[in-house]
Amino acid sequence: MAVFLNFEIHSQSNEAYIEQVGYGNTAEIFQEKHTSDNFIYLSQIGDLNKAVLSQQASVGLGQNTLELYQIGLSNMLIASQIGFGNYSSVTQSGNDNFYELTLTGNYNDLTALQSGSGNTIIQELSGSSYKIDIKQLGNENSIIHIDSYSSILQMSIIQSGTGARLMLVNGLYPK
Amino acid sequence: MKRIFVIALVMTFAASLSMAQHWDQVYQSGNSNNSSVVQGFMDVGTAKPGNGARVWQIGNQNLSDLKQFNGGYAGDQHYAEVYSYGNNNTAYTFQSRATGTSYITQIGDWNYGNVYQNGNVMNSEIYSQGNANWAQSILWATNSYSKITQLGNNNVANQLMGQGMGEKVQGSYFESYQQGNQNFSHQHMAGDGYAGGITALNNTGIINTFGNNNSAVQYMYEGSTSAANNWANAYQNGNWNNSQQYQTNAGNSSVHWQIGDGNVSVTVQN
């Protein structure tokens, strides 16, 4: 089952709510440029879920908000956020979860929880201020985080299990 | 709701302005974990706010590699802390330019802790508790401080300042404390390779050992004709201990304190 949404609400804010229960679900959501603020709530409970999400708020003080829950095996999330303020909360529980985020913004608050085996998080961020909390519970977890131009960053990482791999790179480019 | 969100973010980050520019906290529990943290800015010549990181690793065969950079020496201070609890763990901290403080604590056996600092007014401390641990501090800095504390047997403390790094060594202070048997402490202060001539002036090295069959070796090399004014002090309490001190040029002080039987001390000043 595939769901394609691109709401345009004249109140200057797009909001998308999706709940999927079952096998092989896919959700692709694109919220781009038309409004000041974007909001996505996505819950996928079942096997082989996949989500591709893109949020791009309007120029100025536009904000993006993402809340995602994936419970089950082989879940995957690929997300992109561009806006003045970005907020994301990602929870993946199950095996072989994968979460990739590309983000550009000035005030960003990111939270991710992965529990299960083989969890992976890849973040590539560009912007100024970040507050990031990541927890991974299980074995063979891996995190790659790169924030190219960050000026202020507070980051908390918890990895519990065997064979974890962590690489953090903070602001190693001229600004 | 979203307006509240933005206000909260602004307050959070405004409060953090007084802290380090980048602040990471990493907690890993389990075995065979690997943590690599790199912080800073690469634009040479420009001082930037400092970086801070704290890493905990609980388990065995873990590796922590923490690197902090700054574009200019006048940048704010780096701060690094690494805690290792378990056996066969390895911890590296690397701080370049600016000022910096680095702490490594390792509890267990067969652990390795290494501090490398390049800048001015650097401070480092390594604490290890257990057996067969290796602690090493390498400083390329002036007016700096390094301390290694080891509790247990068959441990090695190695403190190097300016050796082969092309930098002068002035006004710095090395200290090691070892409690146990068959331990070895080595301090080497030398400015060889510095473009303005070999320089190692006004430095202090102190080694304290409690136990038997321990060895202490201190080198202080000053290559110019001026007075070096380096000071070496070794205190050993126990039996069959060995203390050696080597100093070049004039104005140096060598002190051995040995309490016990079968102890040997050597002083060479030339």
ipTM: 0.86
State the best of B3, B4, B7, B24 to mutate against chain A, taking most chain A CBs within 10 Å.
Answer: B24
Asked which of A33-37, A99-103, B258-262 is least confident by mean pLDDT, the reply is A33-37
**Helix, strand or coil, per DSSP, at residue A3:** strand
Asked which of B150-154, B174-178, B221-225 is least confident by mean pLDDT, the reply is B221-225
pLDDT, tens only, B88-104: 999 999 988 778 899 99
Confidence bin at B66 (pLDDT 50/70/90): very high
| A99 in contact with chain B, both atoms CB, cutoff 8 A | no
Asked which of B33-37, B81-85, B220-224 is least confident by mean pLDDT, the reply is B220-224
Confidence bin at B42 (pLDDT 50/70/90): low
Residues A40-46, mean pLDDT to the nearest whole number: 94
Confidence bin at B72 (pLDDT 50/70/90): low
Confidence bin at A118 (pLDDT 50/70/90): confident
Is the pLDDT assigned to residue A6 strictly greater than 50? no
Is the pLDDT assigned to residue A2 strictly greater than 60? no
Is the pLDDT assigned to residue B223 strictly greater than 90? no
Q: Do B26 and A168 touch (CB under 8 A)?
A: yes
Closest CA to B122 of B149, B140, B104, B134: B140
**pLDDT value at residue B165:** 54
Residues B191-211, mean pLDDT to the nearest whole number: 77
Most confident range, picked from A21-35, A127-141, B203-217: B203-217
Size of interface A-B (CB pairs under 8 A): 123
**In chain B, what percentage of residues exceed pLDDT 90?**
57
**Chain A residues near residue B9 by CB distance under 8 angstroms:** 85, 107-109, 129, 131
Single-letter residue type at B6: V
**pLDDT value at residue B212:** 95
| A36 in contact with chain B, both atoms CB, cutoff 8 A | no
Confidence bin at B217 (pLDDT 50/70/90): very high
Q: Looking at chain A, which residue has its C-alpha nearest residue B38? A: A169
**Chain A residues near residue B27 by CB distance under 8 angstroms:** 157-159
**Chain A residues near residue B59 by CB distance under 8 angstroms:** 162
Is the pLDDT assigned to residue A90 strictly greater than 90? yes
Residues A131-156, mean pLDDT to the nearest whole number: 88
Contacts of A59 (CB under 8 A, 6+ apart): none
Nearest CB among A63, A129, A169 relative to B38 is that of A169
